[in-house]
Structure 1
Amino acid sequence: MSRVNFVNEGSPAKAPDLAAFTNYLTSSGWILEDADGQTSMWRPQLSGRHDKIRVVLPVTQRVRDYMERIDDALKALSFVEQRLPEEIADDINFGGADNIAVRLTPDAPTGEAPLLLAYSAISALKNFVVASAASLDYNSLVLPPRRPQRAEAYASQARLSTQPGSFILSLALPLADIYSDETDDSPPVGQDTLVDVPPQPFGRKVTNRMLATTRKAQQLAEEVSEGDRPISSFGDFLPDTPNATELAALSSLGGPEHDIYQIRFAKSPLAGGTAEPALLRVTPGQQRILGEAADYLRTKQPRAGVTVTGLIVRLFREGGFGRGEAVIQGVADDSGEARRYRVELGELDYNEAVRAHADGLQVTATGDLDIRGTRRSLRRLTSFAVIPGLEDES
């Protein structure tokens, strides 16, 4: 059996710069307590059970043991923040990043996983991020075939790594995205400036959405499993209801066999709040129900912005004027499958459909795809046009 093997030495791939580390401490609520020309000592601003914890940094990066001192400082922060040192290092290096980690449970040595499981989990993580980011701008239980550009661009900013353990995929999600309002002359992270993170940056909204929908999906899956609610309850559009792509991603994180997995959400203190990481355990039974729910939504819920291209094979209207119905034998851009689609047309478009049918020309129509049993209809058309033939182009 093919396996993927990741090696992780247990320390950050890139130790943060000293200036970036200092700015992180200041921005996340630490106070400089003492400096003696060789080191600086920091304490938490808020009093409590971490009163005795101190972070000690050298005053220059040119000391021999810089890596060791940074490693000790990250471990101290890790104890206070209840995050892994690697997660905090990513947070600092990104200038603000939340973390989502997935612990898989393959029947394989530590650090190894079957290729199909690793591929399924990584693909699902990417789809999960894109779907949650897209949902911030698009309220629908079934996302359009073309994802919003901002969602795809944000997913490309995320960074995947592995952590020590059975098989852990760790995803760093930057708080800011390339669409954030930033001035061109903003100094880069690491210079003498505090980390400038807005109160509710785009990345934090994505993290909050992913956590909320995971909890909601688990709740609904349990209620369906116990017979308290039907699978159709996933179609009730309520706050935090996951869309079909999010459901499919949560179903696929456990791989083709739906192995049990844990998913952990750890938030950066740079965007406010000191919430402890949230750890959720998704069972095989829940994963199967979530997959069924995704299929249900995709077959029962309208899909917006679907374009069908094909030939007119049937026409009908009562009388010689007015609105009418046409059937297009064609391919939808969201599935690539050749099927028949019914469309209702106004008089002008219907007359164009008659001409296309008589001349054997293809048409293109865009609207909301509605599937009921084997019947497919495009409703609320936004466009309808006849594709010119060669004789029309001469």
Structure 2
Amino acid sequence: MSRADSSGAAVANVPDLAAVTNYLTNSGWIAEDTDDRTSMWRPRPGAHDSIRVVLPTSQRVRDYADRVADALKTLSFVERRLPEEIADDIKFGGADNIAVRLTPDAPPGEAPLLLAHSAISAIKNFVVAAAASLDSNSLVLPPRRPQRAEAYASQARLSTQQGSFVLSLALPLADIYSDESGESIPPGQDALVEVPPQPFGRKVTNRMLASTRKAQQLAEEVSEGNLPISSFGEFTPDAPNATELAALSSLGGPDHDIYQMRFAQSPLAGGSTEPALLRVTPGQQRILGEAADYLRTRQPRAGVTVTGLIVRLFREGGFGRGEAVIQGVADDSGVARRYRVELGEPEYNEAVRAHANGLHVTATGDLDIRGTRRSLRRMTSFAVIPGLDDES
């Protein structure tokens, strides 16, 4: 926590007095006494009745930063969150926090580069996947993530905390889209006063917590032999998708080191503020990685685009619909495989032309996997990619 400089002005990292008092008001604290120099706040009735927060009435006082630091420590005790997490909450105008404690064989505050890179990438993918799952019921997300999910992940802020190696993620309650009117709302302190009961950010946090718990539950059942790995393919409440599973598997790094996750919610959106602590073991991480691979290779996926060469054509008679086989790469896997497509007569004739001239084609549809057979169904597009000498 930064302190005030010699002139008494608050350093930028210290929350403004207005922001702190707004936070107290909107999280249930009551101004009990105010005079020319200080204001004294007490929590809502029945919650830590003997505790008080005292703030100066102006942030121009020399010890303003110290007084705010004391206030954050008091709030930390009441809310069972770290002062830094509460400071982020105030800064964003409402933010939940997810902290990941890694356990590398390294001095405190350090981690191998591969582990740190794996963990940070996994956290980002986890946020995007959780946000995307709010608009998608698929266990395998489409290659193109919803714009809202990507935009929300860009608003999150990652920092480190004291400990063996702790990554702290601040997730704003408000995103750049309004849940009510669809109008754009910039995140920040202006959103603090009117935080809706279930803002988008809280939905993302709840999803991340619920899917982690469900993933751990299934992993334990599979580990004990009570369920097959295919149980991850059953769409049940809070069922994690493949991207979430892969992220949870990668958070421990290449060696699947044990890690802990702590979910702490802001009081500004209501609900329970009791932090949740989860411990993900190496065995669970390995099973979650296997489950992610299983879903990606066995579950149907929507909106998959395949690009490649026509290697087989078939239709009964000289006219009408027909079937083609594309040897190519899907945009969600990057692996060359064969894909069957059913084409109407105009598209089939184009496929014949592409096959005769060695031209690539592109097709988009829902990927259906049955054993080793892959098919694109409910196709939304099929086109021949012109060659350099193609004049048609």
Q: TM-score, normalised by structure 2?
A: 0.93
1:254-300 Cα offsets, whole Å, 9 max, x none, are 11111111101000011112330000111111111000000000000
Distance, in Å, in 2 between the alignment partners of 1:333 and 1:319 is: 33
Counterpart pick for 1:61 among 36, 44, 59: 59
Whether contact under 8 Å (1:158, 1:173) holds in the other structure is yes
2:201 partner amino acid: G
Aligned pairs for 1:193-232 within 5 A: 195-232=193-230
Distance, in Å, in 1 between the alignment partners of 2:272 and 2:206 is: 14
Counterpart pick for 1:377 among 357, 365, 375: 375
**In the superposition, relative to structure 1, how do residues 183 and 391 fare at CA in structure 2: closer, same or farther (>3 Å)?**
closer
Report what 1:341 is aligned to: 339
Distance, in Å, in 2 between the alignment partners of 1:25 and 1:182 is: 28
Does 2:133 align with 1:135?
yes
1:152-176 Cα offsets, whole Å, 9 max, x none, are 1110100001111111100000001
* Structure 1 unaligned residues grouped into runs of 5+: 1-7
Distance, in Å, in 2 between the alignment partners of 1:19 and 1:171 is: 24
In angstroms, what is the RMSD of aligned CA positions?
A: 2.2
Following superposition, the deviation at residue 320 of structure 1 comes to: 2.6
1:78 partner amino acid: S
Whether contact under 8 Å (1:57, 1:70) holds in the other structure is yes
Distance, in Å, in 2 between the alignment partners of 1:37 and 1:184 is: 39
**In the superposition, relative to structure 1, how do residues 226 and 15 fare at CA in structure 2: closer, same or farther (>3 Å)?**
same
1:257 partner amino acid: D
1:113 counterpart SS class = coil
Distance, in Å, in 2 between the alignment partners of 1:221 and 1:322 is: 49
Does 2:245 align with 1:247?
yes
Does 2:163 align with 1:165?
yes
Q: Number of paired residues? A: 383
2:273 counterpart SS class = coil
**In the superposition, relative to structure 1, how do residues 233 and 185 fare at CA in structure 2: closer, same or farther (>3 Å)?**
closer
Distance, in Å, in 2 between the alignment partners of 1:307 and 1:25 is: 51
1:112 counterpart SS class = coil
Report what 1:33 is aligned to: 32
- Provide the identity percentage: 84
**In the superposition, relative to structure 1, how do residues 390 and 280 fare at CA in structure 2: closer, same or farther (>3 Å)?**
same
Following superposition, the deviation at residue 189 of structure 1 comes to: 2.4
1:342 counterpart SS class = strand
Report what 1:273 is aligned to: 271
Counterpart pick for 1:354 among 352, 355, 360: 352
Distance, in Å, in 1 between the alignment partners of 2:391 and 2:327 is: 24
Distance, in Å, in 1 between the alignment partners of 2:382 and 2:185 is: 47
1:385 counterpart SS class = strand
Distance, in Å, in 2 between the alignment partners of 1:185 and 1:144 is: 27
**In the superposition, relative to structure 1, how do residues 187 and 59 fare at CA in structure 2: closer, same or farther (>3 Å)?**
farther
2:189 partner amino acid: V
Q: TM-score, normalised by structure 1?
A: 0.92
Following superposition, the deviation at residue 76 of structure 1 comes to: 0.5
Q: Runs ≥4 in structure 1, deviation > 3 angstroms?
A: 181-188, 371-374, 388-394
Following superposition, the deviation at residue 347 of structure 1 comes to: 2.6
Following superposition, the deviation at residue 373 of structure 1 comes to: 4.1
Whether contact under 8 Å (2:103, 2:165) holds in the other structure is yes
1:44 partner amino acid: P
Distance, in Å, in 2 between the alignment partners of 1:76 and 1:207 is: 25
1:232 partner amino acid: S
**In the superposition, relative to structure 1, how do residues 359 and 242 fare at CA in structure 2: closer, same or farther (>3 Å)?**
same
**In the superposition, relative to structure 1, how do residues 36 and 121 fare at CA in structure 2: closer, same or farther (>3 Å)?**
same
Aligned pairs for 1:145-160 within 5 A: 145-160=143-158
Report what 2:46 is aligned to: 47
Whether contact under 8 Å (1:26, 1:194) holds in the other structure is no
Report what 1:5 is aligned to: none
Following superposition, the deviation at residue 393 of structure 1 comes to: 4.5
Following superposition, the deviation at residue 387 of structure 1 comes to: 2.5
Whether contact under 8 Å (2:300, 2:368) holds in the other structure is yes
Distance, in Å, in 1 between the alignment partners of 2:114 and 2:390 is: 51
Distance, in Å, in 2 between the alignment partners of 1:383 and 1:184 is: 32
1:248 partner amino acid: A
1:247 counterpart SS class = helix
Following superposition, the deviation at residue 392 of structure 1 comes to: 5.2
1:183-232 Cα offsets, whole Å, 9 max, x none, are 78999727xx9621111111000000000000000000000011110000
1:199 partner amino acid: P
Moved more, 266-275 or 292-301: 266-275
**In the superposition, relative to structure 1, how do residues 42 and 126 fare at CA in structure 2: closer, same or farther (>3 Å)?**
same
Whether contact under 8 Å (2:369, 2:375) holds in the other structure is yes
1:80-109 Cα offsets, whole Å, 9 max, x none, are 111110000000000000000001111111
Report what 1:189 is aligned to: 189
Whether contact under 8 Å (2:72, 2:86) holds in the other structure is yes
Report what 2:5 is aligned to: none
Whether contact under 8 Å (1:176, 1:197) holds in the other structure is yes
**In the superposition, relative to structure 1, how do residues 188 and 382 fare at CA in structure 2: closer, same or farther (>3 Å)?**
closer
Moved more, 288-297 or 274-283: 274-283
